[in-house]
């Protein structure tokens, strides 16, 4: 079970966690804990602004205050666990202070960045574990950098499963499979370590990923294959559309891993897109549940099963730029696409959508609006492109419609009919071979209307 920062806000939130533990009292549990709300941002902000000692001190005391506030609410003053939690905060904040001094001296190297960000989870998870102990529950705190071994990519590390499995087998299974004791385990989300011991992080919002990586490794190393991941959130689950576009959109009750990957990538950031990779192969189910309503029958389940007769979700990329590279002369010449994408990759620009007609005259692709200038400049600076191609760009929005049903002609016809009713012009489209996602590029100004009319007209195809 993963508890995000929004589940750790005050005493009543911690009480709710006890209730959840009681509901799941008959199963073995591992908790993955995120930083308190806003702490990761605060740590980052602090690390980025170390010029003035007074500002750094202010940031550190703010971080301290947030944790002390929680401690004072959830523990009895001067009790054993209160004191332990307080001492921990003192100790860790002094380590953080040392880290800030190093950063001032050596600069914010990628390693330091991850190290600093790791403090959020290290503080919250230790406190969480002390809370369980204070309630008479048996529980151990395990920082993930003891068990989750990752690649060296600071800020966006990937698990090295063989090494991680080995650690899980050695450090987690003996606790979990001990028949005499019912011990819970509290693991820090978001962080890991590389082979030589430096702390790494899995990318922002990465605690979801920690939970699925643990499930993956337990599945491989443990005897019990009956494993489930539950992500407790402050929402009921994944919605078919972000509520900023449509009022009270319905909840997606079930979807498969592929559909979920698409939705997580575009969606309202309820689910970390990378985290499905870890559980898909072993068909480990994942639930997203509202931590306020643990017995609610409305939640999202991601598993092998899906209703093939449904559209699962619509999402939008609001700030996108479409770039089109056109040439009448260079058709049938191998390597043009390679050159385009090499130029993007050299400039670290991510391309999220590609369309080329089979005449090869024109290729269009989407980049983030923030990268658009860089992308155009890079193409214009290349002699190959400026001599033979016409390069155009425009700010646009992209709508993604996800679900197996989108493979049907009838559904596509309905989508285009809906847009036609509102006179909304489709500027480009893309769907990979047999892919369950259709992307439609339109004018930015039309985004709201487009999503609404598609939602209204295809209402019956959605889950409700």
Look at residue 190 and give the partner it binds from ligand ASP, Mg ion, none, a contact being a CB closer than 5 to 8 Å depending on partner kind. ligand ASP
Nearer Cβ to ligand ASP, position 167 or 204?
A: 204
Q: CA–CA separation, 16 vs 6, rounded Å?
A: 12
Instruction: Please identify which residue in 7, 144, 145, 189 interacts with ligand ASP, judged by CB under 6 A.
Output: 189
Residue 73 contacts residue 8 (beta carbons within 8 Å): no
- For the bound state, the minimum distance from the C-beta of residue 45 to ligand ASP, rounded and expressed in Å, comes to 12
Residues 6+ apart with CB under 8 A from 372: 321, 323, 393, 395
Asked if 206 touches ligand ASP (CB under 6 A), the answer is yes
Give the residue nearest to ligand ASP (CB): 207
- For the bound state, the minimum distance from the C-beta of residue 160 to ligand ASP, rounded and expressed in Å, comes to 20
Rg (CA), the chain: 25
Could you tell me if residue 230 is left (phi over 0), alpha (psi between -120 and 50 degrees) or otherwise beta?
Answer: beta
- For the bound state, the minimum distance from the C-beta of residue 204 to ligand ASP, rounded and expressed in Å, comes to 4
Tokens matching residue 75: 């523990």
Look at residue 146 and give the partner it binds from ligand ASP, Mg ion, none, a contact being a CB closer than 5 to 8 Å depending on partner kind. none
Q: How many residues of this chain interact with Mg ion, rule: CB under 5 A? A: 2
- For the bound state, the minimum distance from the C-beta of residue 38 to ligand ASP, rounded and expressed in Å, comes to 8
- For the bound state, the minimum distance from the C-beta of residue 5 to ligand ASP, rounded and expressed in Å, comes to 6
Instruction: Please identify which residue in 35, 213, 231, 302 interacts with ligand ASP, judged by CB under 6 A.
Output: 35
Stretch of 32-40, 99-107, 212-220, 248-256 contacting Mg ion, by CB under 5 A = 32-40
**Phi, psi angle pair for 405, to nearest 5°:** -60, -20
- For the bound state, the minimum distance from the C-beta of residue 445 to ligand ASP, rounded and expressed in Å, comes to 32
Tokens matching residue 408: 């049907």
Asked if 190 touches ligand ASP (CB under 6 A), the answer is yes
Q: What is the DSSP string of 33-87?
A: EPPSTTHHHHHHHHHH--S-HHHHHHHHHHHHHHHHHHHHHHS-TT-HHHHHHHH
- For the bound state, the minimum distance from the C-beta of residue 36 to ligand ASP, rounded and expressed in Å, comes to 9
Look at residue 237 and give the partner it binds from ligand ASP, Mg ion, none, a contact being a CB closer than 5 to 8 Å depending on partner kind. none
Q: CA–CA separation, 366 vs 213, rounded Å?
A: 31
Residues 115-144 that bind ligand ASP (CB under 6 A): 120
Q: How many residues of this chain interact with ligand ASP, rule: CB under 6 A? A: 12
Q: CA–CA separation, 198 vs 193, rounded Å?
A: 5
Look at residue 249 and give the partner it binds from ligand ASP, Mg ion, none, a contact being a CB closer than 5 to 8 Å depending on partner kind. none
Residue 445 C-alpha from the chain's centroid: 28
Nearer Cβ to ligand ASP, position 191 or 240?
A: 191
Residue 198 contacts residue 208 (beta carbons within 8 Å): no
Asked if 273 touches ligand ASP (CB under 6 A), the answer is no
- For the bound state, the minimum distance from the C-beta of residue 42 to ligand ASP, rounded and expressed in Å, comes to 10
Nearer Cβ to ligand ASP, position 155 or 347?
A: 155
Asked if 5 touches Mg ion (CB under 5 A), the answer is yes
Nearer Cβ to Mg ion, position 139 or 210?
A: 210
- For the bound state, the minimum distance from the C-beta of residue 13 to ligand ASP, rounded and expressed in Å, comes to 15
- Count the residues in the chain: 464
Q: Say how many C-beta atoms besides its own lie within 10 A of residue 51's C-beta.
A: 8
Residues 423-462 that bind ligand ASP (CB under 6 A): none
Q: Render the burial of 230-256: b for 16+ CB within 10 Å, e for the rest.
A: bbbbebbbbbbbbeebbeebebbbbbb
Nearer Cβ to ligand ASP, position 203 or 285?
A: 203
186 three-state secondary structure: strand
* Beta bridge partner(s), residue 186: 31, 141
Angle at 327 between CA 321 and CA 331, to 5 degrees: 120
Nearer Cβ to ligand ASP, position 124 or 430?
A: 124
Look at residue 267 and give the partner it binds from Mg ion, ligand ASP, none, a contact being a CB closer than 5 to 8 Å depending on partner kind. none
Task: Identify which of 141, 132, 135, 51 has the alpha carbon closest to the alpha carbon of residue 88.
Answer: 141
**Phi, psi angle pair for 396, to nearest 5°:** -145, 180
Stretch of 14-22, 30-38, 97-105, 367-375 contacting Mg ion, by CB under 5 A = 30-38
Look at residue 189 and give the partner it binds from Mg ion, ligand ASP, none, a contact being a CB closer than 5 to 8 Å depending on partner kind. ligand ASP
Residue 385, CA distances (Å) to 44, 331, 338 in order: 39, 13, 12
Contact residues for Mg ion, defined by CB under 5 A:
5, 34
Contact residues for ligand ASP, defined by CB under 6 A:
4-5, 34-35, 40, 120, 189-190, 204-207
């Amino acid at each position: 079970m993963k508890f995000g920062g929004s589940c750790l806000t005050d005493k009543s939130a911690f009480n709710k966690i006890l209730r959840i533990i009681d509901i799941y009292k008959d199963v073995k549990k591992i908790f993955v804990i995120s930083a308190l709300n806003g702490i990761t941002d605060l740590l980052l902000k602090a690390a980025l602004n170390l010029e003035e000692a007074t500002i750094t001190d202010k940031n550190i005391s703010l971080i301290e205050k947030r944790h002390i506030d929680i401690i004072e609410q959830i523990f009895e003053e001067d009790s054993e666990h209160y004191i332990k939690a307080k001492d921990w905060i003192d100790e860790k904040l002094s380590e953080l202070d040392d880290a800030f001094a190093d950063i001032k001296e050596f600069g914010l190297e990628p390693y330091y960045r991850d190290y600093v960000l790791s403090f959020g989870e290290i503080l919250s998870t230790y406190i969480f574990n002390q809370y369980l102990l204070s309630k008479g529950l048996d529980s151990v705190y395990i920082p993930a950098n003891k068990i989750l071994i990752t690649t060296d990519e600071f800020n966006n590390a990937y698990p090295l499963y063989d090494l991680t499995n080995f650690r899980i087998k050695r450090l987690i299974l003996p606790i979990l499979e001990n028949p005499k004791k019912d011990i819970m385990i509290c693991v820090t989300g978001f962080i890991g370590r590389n082979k030589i011991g430096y702390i790494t992080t899995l990318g922002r919002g990465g605690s979801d990923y920690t939970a699925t990586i643990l499930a993956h490794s337990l599945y491989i190393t443990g005897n019990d294959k009956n494993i489930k991941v539950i992500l407790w959130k402050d929402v009921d689950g994944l919605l078919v559309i972000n509520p900023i576009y449509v009022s009270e959109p319905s909840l997606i009750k079930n979807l498969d891993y592929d559909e979920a990957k698409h939705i997580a990538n575009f969606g309202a950031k309820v689910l970390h897109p990378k985290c499905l990779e870890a559980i898909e192969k072993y068909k480990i189910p994942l639930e997203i549940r509202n931590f306020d309503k643990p017995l609610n029958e409305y939640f999202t389940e991601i598993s092998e099963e899906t209703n093939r007769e449904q559209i699962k979700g619509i999402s939008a990329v609001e700030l996108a730029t479409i770039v089109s590279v056109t040439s009448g002369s260079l058709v049938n010449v191998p390597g043009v696409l390679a050159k385009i994408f090499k130029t993007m990759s050299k400039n670290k620009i991510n391309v999220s959508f590609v369309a080329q007609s089979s005449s090869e005259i024109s290729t269009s692709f989407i980049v983030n609006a923030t990268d658009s200038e860089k992308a155009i400049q890079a193409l214009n600076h290349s002699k190959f492109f400026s001599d033979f191609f016409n390069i155009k760009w425009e700010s646009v929005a992209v709508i993604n419609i996800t679900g197996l049903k989108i493979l049907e002609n009838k559904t596509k016809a309905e989508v285009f009919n809906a847009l036609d009713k509102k006179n909304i012009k489709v500027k480009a489209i893309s769907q990979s071979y047999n892919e369950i996602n259709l992307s439609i590029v339109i004018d930015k100004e039309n985004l709201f209307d487009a999503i609404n009319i598609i939602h209204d007209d295809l209402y019956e195809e959605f889950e409700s």
